Chain A
């Protein structure tokens, strides 16, 4: 068919020249390329000592936040557990006793708060669901472990360090 656009290019397979059939020049070229790569910058990151820079909206390990007075913000409403598509979050609510006002911000708090790190997909829906701004996925990588039970992180690992005063 006649080409209307004149952009058609007929490509034909030419028989290889002698230098191409000898294969050795091509090998020499390849060897030169790989040799040059020996002196290039190495991409390796020595992981535990050296960490890859992470982006600003990186989602890592969850942390349960405290307010400006060092009281836990979580009120155990369960919206995060409801929002979680992976069913990773469970909690047990408890009522604040007298004398515990400096620990918990509101009358109800989470006595147990567990995130199963094997189930969690780090989608961040829990932090979107939280009405109290109590949970954020702003931690580091979740580490490796040997047993499945050790991947269920309780409040000991999730709650922020208390304020120093």
Chain B
């Protein structure tokens, strides 16, 4: 552990941290803009050019609001809830490989905070921790609507995590590795992207990602017209902001995970051709990062696009979809994938 290594990782952490916060901040603007455009309006357009400074105005508003802590609530847990939600949302991006290593002379900089060999499991751990923030916050509010939202969030996340995990197992059977870096490296070019091998798995994964991020059509934990505000009914000021921010960071991270697992991560078509043509590797790496960000932004757009198109599910429909459709489908996907791997071994070798 020399000092240079620590500094390098620290700088990377800072960059990723600020990028995910910035993306989350501008996701709030993007959400409002996309909602407006889909509804034939123009959305926030007053603060700055085309509403560019709207996130700053919203943030300032959040900061200056009165922070109310209900007297009958559990004060410690009431504060712990949003903090935990924000924390778990932010640490998810630690294992995402953002690009190929950058080389400056002898020094090689890995664009990944931690290349752990169980990267996918780490993501899963963080995602399942994420629901604790919502649950603790909702329970500590001592309010029936908050509790209702928290219970919904918990049961929904547990149900959809199973299908998500099973769809990932089929993917891991193809990749043979749990390390996100290896998975990303395997998908170089365009035809090697995992989505071509695992379309059903990807479909299940993205549906579960919607449910895990509490996005419409699965936003029952915070359904405004039934539960006031769901788990954040009692929250105000910056603690409410933390909850909302955590949702957008979750979208960013899940977009990154989906791009890495299924859409080739930082790989883009003709990347190897560019390298053979003698383009500087660092330039190709930067292009790769931009492509990864583009994929993530597409997923964020897709999340919002679906939100403003599809109505919310009823709670029994949600549970039916999770337990009776997605879980059997993902098990079937595992079986089909296994058969396909064996067939490929025997006949297409």
Contact = CB atoms under 8 A, between A and B. Distances in A.
Contacts of B41: 42-44
A43 B40 contact: yes
B42 interface: yes
Contacts of B37: 37-38, 42
Contacts of A35: 38, 305
B309 A38 contact: no
Interface string B38-70: 111110010000000000000000000000000
A37 B40 contact: yes
A37 to B, nearest CB: 5
Interface residues of A, number: 15
B108 interface: no
B309 A30 contact: yes
Contacts of A37: 37-40
Contacts of B26: none
B42 A38 contact: no
Contacts of A6: none
A25 to B, nearest CB: 13
B40 A34 contact: no
B310 A30 contact: yes
Interface residues of B, number: 14
Contact of A44 (B34, B38, B42, B310): B42
Contacts of A40: 40
B32 to A, nearest CB: 13
Contacts of A41: 40
B305 A34 contact: yes
B208 to A, nearest CB: 15
B308 interface: yes
Interface of A: 24, 27, 30-31, 33-35, 37-38, 40-44, 46
Interface of B: 34, 37-42, 45, 203, 305-306, 308-310
5 contacts: A27-B306, A38-B37, A43-B41, A44-B41, A46-B45
Which 9 pairs across A and B sit closest by C-beta, in order of nearness?
A44-B42, A34-B309, A38-B37, A34-B38, A30-B309, A42-B42, A43-B40, A44-B41, A31-B309
